[in-house]
Structure 1
Amino acid sequence: MAELGKINKLKIISKSKNHFVLDGEQYGDLWLKIKDIDFFERTQKNSLIQVFLYKVTDNEVAVTIDKPKAEANQCALLKVIKISEHGAFLDIGLPKDLFVPINQQRKRLRKDSHCLAYIYLDKKTGRLLGSTKLNRHLMEESDELEFGQQVSLQIWEKTDLGYKAVIDDKFIGLIFKQDAYRSLSFGEKLTGFIKNIREDKKIDLLISQKANTESHYELDKNILNAVNVSGGTLNITDKTSPEEIYKKFSVSKKQYKQAIGRLYKKRLIKIESERISLI
């Protein structure tokens, strides 16, 4: 099934002068003008080609071989190229610019400035729109991310606490000042790691593998210290409530289970039904 706002592989069903006619599946036959004559001549009928599908009006679907700077449900740093009374237009690398309505602008956009925009399909029209109100479209809480997990980040804004970042085009998390070993730039893309999922499910981030390894090490060390202080056994297991685990170690239940799993594999502890203990 062809998807609006996405790159699709569509079949060429005929060729006419400098046009391909593509099988747009539920959108019917789609005409694609090709400027590259060599490409046109060497591409045969029934071939599959990658094209971007989008609406130019509420009722008209267009197709282009141009690759956009981002697809639907992704974020991208884009330049503002035009301002109107109804909103702003961003260069997304397509024949038609990306429209950001005024009510989707966190701050009023200015011509020639750059903004981090989330690209989405309007539910009523199916047309591609942009938004700089990222927290309307991205989640600030997560049940699915795991302690230590590697993720893709894009820096959104600097705050008093550190840097807010987009995680995998789906979540928003925080890199604390002390965990940012260098200055980070607006819109910068980098690899990061999940440092912590807080009790309120907010997401803390790290930006170095070394810091990620150290974070694992600190939690493992804290658990071993707690077992030692308790006389060699600790009545906190993978069956203990998330609240009690967080109160003791300031980590989620999932993080705690992963940590005692690491300690068990290293043969440092044994895990019983109601306690963990030193070997």
Structure 2
Amino acid sequence: MAELGKINKLKIISKSKNHFVLDGEQHGDLWLKIKDIDFFERTQKNSLIQVFLYKVTDNEVAVTIDKPKAEANQCALLKVVKISEHGAFLDIGLPKDLFVPINQQRKRLRKDSHCLAYIYLDKKTGRLLGSTKLNRHLMEESDELESGQQVSLQIWEKTDLGYKAVIDDKFIGLIFKQDAYRSLSFGEKLTGFIKNIREDKKIDLLISKKANTESNYELDKNILNAVNVSGGTLNITDKTSPEEIYKKFSVSKKQYKQALGRLYKKRLIKIESERISLI
């Protein structure tokens, strides 16, 4: 089945002057104008070619050999090329610019600025649209990701806690400040790793596996400092609520319990029912 908003391999069923007629499957025959004469002449009938399908009107499907900067259900950093009273238009690398309706703009877009947009198909019309309200389209909780799993990241925004990032064009997670060993740029793409899935199923991220070891060291050090500052004992144990632990150390209860285990094995702390204390 030929998918709208995606790159498809379609068969050439005939050639006419500088046009191919393609088998668009459920979309019928599709005409593709070819500017590259050499390509046109050496490409034979019944060949398969890669093309991008999208709607130019509610009833008309267009096809192009131009490769878009992103396909449906993907995110991309795109330039705003035009503003209208109904929305903004982004350069997506196609003959027709990508429309972002006003109600899909997190903040009003400005001409010549860049934004991180999620590309999707409108359910009613099948037309390609964009949205900068990523949290409408991406999930902030996950049951399928696992700690240590390698993922593709794209930086969305900087917050007081660190950086929010898009994960595999499907989820949103957080890179804590202490886990970002360098400054990260808006829209930057990089390989990352799942640090932890919290008890509320929110996703913590790392930008290197080495950072996991460094992060454990920092957490252990922070716990020991907190115990020292409070006079040698701390009333935050493995029985304390996840909310209180997160408020104090910005980690999940699971991570905190693991840290207590590491410190206990090193004989640095004693764990009691209502407190931990230095040995």
Q: Cα offset for 1:239?
A: 18
1:209 aligns with 2:187: no
Partners of 1:228 and 1:199 in 2: CA distance: 28
- Point out 4+ residue stretches in structure 1 off by more than 4 angstroms: 213-279
What does the per-residue CA deviation read over 1:12-64, in whole Å, with 9 as the maximum and x for residues that have no partner?
00000000000000000000000000000000000000000000000000000
Q: Cα offset for 1:209?
A: 2.4
Partners of 1:83 and 1:229 in 2: CA distance: 55
Partners of 2:209 and 2:188 in 1: CA distance: 18
Q: Cα offset for 1:238?
A: 18
Partners of 1:52 and 1:108 in 2: CA distance: 29
Partners of 2:110 and 2:131 in 1: CA distance: 14
Relative to structure 1, the CA distance from residue 237 to residue 168 in structure 2 (aligned partners, 3 Å threshold; closer, same or farther) is farther
Identity %: 98
- TM-score for the superposition, normalised by structure 1: 0.79
Report SS of the residue matched to 1:139. Answer: coil
Match for residue 61 of structure 2? 61
Gaps of 5+ in 2: none
Match for residue 268 of structure 2? 268
Partners of 1:252 and 1:54 in 2: CA distance: 44
Partners of 1:184 and 1:217 in 2: CA distance: 22
Given that residues 148 and 216 in structure 1 are in contact (C-alpha distance below 8 angstroms), is that contact kept between their aligned partners in structure 2? no
Mean alpha-carbon deviation: is it higher for 11-20 or for 249-258? Answer: 249-258
Partners of 1:111 and 1:61 in 2: CA distance: 28
Match for residue 278 of structure 1? 278
Partners of 1:3 and 1:213 in 2: CA distance: 44
Q: Cα offset for 1:144?
A: 0.3
Q: CA RMSD in A?
A: 5.6
Partners of 1:95 and 1:182 in 2: CA distance: 38
Given that residues 173 and 203 in structure 1 are in contact (C-alpha distance below 8 angstroms), is that contact kept between their aligned partners in structure 2? yes
Q: Cα offset for 1:212?
A: 3.6
Q: Cα offset for 1:138?
A: 0.1
What does the per-residue CA deviation read over 1:148-188, in whole Å, with 9 as the maximum and x for residues that have no partner?
00000000000000000000000000000010001000000
Given that residues 163 and 177 in structure 2 are in contact (C-alpha distance below 8 angstroms), is that contact kept between their aligned partners in structure 1? yes
- TM-score for the superposition, normalised by structure 2: 0.79
What does the per-residue CA deviation read over 1:86-140, in whole Å, with 9 as the maximum and x for residues that have no partner?
0000000000000000000000000000000000000000000000000000000
Q: Cα offset for 1:195?
A: 0.5
Q: Cα offset for 1:240?
A: 17
Partners of 2:253 and 2:229 in 1: CA distance: 21
Partners of 2:163 and 2:241 in 1: CA distance: 31
Q: Cα offset for 1:2?
A: 0.3
Given that residues 195 and 215 in structure 1 are in contact (C-alpha distance below 8 angstroms), is that contact kept between their aligned partners in structure 2? no
Q: Cα offset for 1:208?
A: 1.0
Relative to structure 1, the CA distance from residue 93 to residue 266 in structure 2 (aligned partners, 3 Å threshold; closer, same or farther) is farther
Residues 231-270 of structure 1 aligned to structure 2 (within 5 Å): none
Q: Cα offset for 1:210?
A: 1.0
Partners of 2:50 and 2:275 in 1: CA distance: 56
Partners of 2:57 and 2:39 in 1: CA distance: 28
